[in-house]
């Protein structure tokens, strides 16, 4: 199988388009390829145009498609100065690093961590963790199955301060441990 990068692929498409245009001009002048019937010309042109359109649609789709939150949340780049950071320790011992002013956690963050039937109980955007005054706070995002911290349910408008070692229960089906640490760079 031949592998090409995008630049090579677009080059091939441009060359094919140029060939199609040249062949169309020759056919329209009824020159060397005049012996082909009009139906054959139309079929060949339609196939080439369909291939070009398919490649263009795929490249636009890939550029405009949203990236999975899983790809964004599993990177653990730390900041350049000393500050308190936090992580959520999942049941499979993977971590979700919380190092910004606000982080929304939802269903996609738990793919591969819990079974698919439990994922249905977790909201797309289930809760958020917000940093205020060097501390982190948690807020349920008005979900049907709720969020609790150390067994105490959060009301949708309430914001509760998180402490190192707190246990977060998501949708009564996923237990997460909250942990704070220091960035010593």
Using 50, 70 and 90 to split pLDDT, how confident is the model at 182?
low
pLDDT of residue 6: 72
Flag whether pLDDT at 74 surpasses 90.
no
pLDDT of residue 99: 83
Using 50, 70 and 90 to split pLDDT, how confident is the model at 3?
low
Cα separation of 88 and 74, whole Å?
11
Over range 79-84, report the average pLDDT.
Answer: 53
Structure tokens, 152:
């105490």
Q: Using CB atoms within 10 A of its CB, is residue 99 exposed (0-12), middle (13-18) or buried (19+)?
A: middle
Rg (CA), the chain: 28
Using 50, 70 and 90 to split pLDDT, how confident is the model at 1?
very low
Alpha-helix runs per DSSP H in the chain: 6-28, 38-64, 69-73, 116-119
The closest of 102, 101, 98 to 90, measured between CA atoms, is: 98
Over range 16-31, report the average pLDDT.
Answer: 72
Using 50, 70 and 90 to split pLDDT, how confident is the model at 145?
very high
Using 50, 70 and 90 to split pLDDT, how confident is the model at 68?
low
Structure-token match 């441990």, residue found: 177
Most distant CA pair in the chain: distance in Å? 84
pLDDT of residue 84: 60
- The total number of residues shown for the chain amounts to 185
Using 50, 70 and 90 to split pLDDT, how confident is the model at 166?
very high
Flag whether pLDDT at 36 surpasses 70.
no
Cα separation of 181 and 151, whole Å?
23
Over range 16-43, report the average pLDDT.
Answer: 67
Domains annotated for the chain, with CATH where assigned, are: 6-64 (no CATH), 69-183 (2.60.200.20)
In percent, the amount of the chain with pLDDT more than 90 equals: 36
Cα separation of 130 and 57, whole Å?
39
Over range 20-35, report the average pLDDT.
Answer: 64
- Cα angle 93, 97, 99; round to 5: 165
């Amino acid at each position: 199988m031949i592998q090409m990068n995008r630049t090579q692929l677009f080059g091939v498409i441009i060359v094919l388009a140029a060939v199609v245009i040249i062949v169309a001009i020759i056919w329209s002048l009824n020159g060397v390829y005049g012996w082909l019937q009009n139906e054959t010309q139309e079929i060949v042109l339609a196939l080439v145009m369909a291939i070009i359109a398919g490649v263009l649609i795929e490249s636009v789709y890939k550029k405009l498609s949203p990236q999975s939150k899983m790809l964004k949340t599993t990177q653990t780049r730390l900041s350049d100065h000393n500050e308190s950071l936090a992580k959520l320790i999942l049941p499979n011992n993977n971590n979700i690093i919380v190092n910004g002013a606000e982080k929304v956690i939802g269903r996609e963050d738990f793919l591969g961590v819990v079974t698919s039937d439990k994922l249905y109980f977790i909201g797309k955007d289930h809760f958020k963790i917000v940093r205020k005054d060097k501390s982190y706070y948690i807020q349920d995002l008005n979900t049907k199955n709720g969020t609790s911290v150390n067994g105490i349910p959060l009301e949708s408008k309430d914001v509760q301060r998180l402490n190192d070692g707190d246990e977060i229960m998501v949708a009564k089906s996923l237990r997460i441990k909250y942990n704070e640490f220091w960035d010593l760079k």
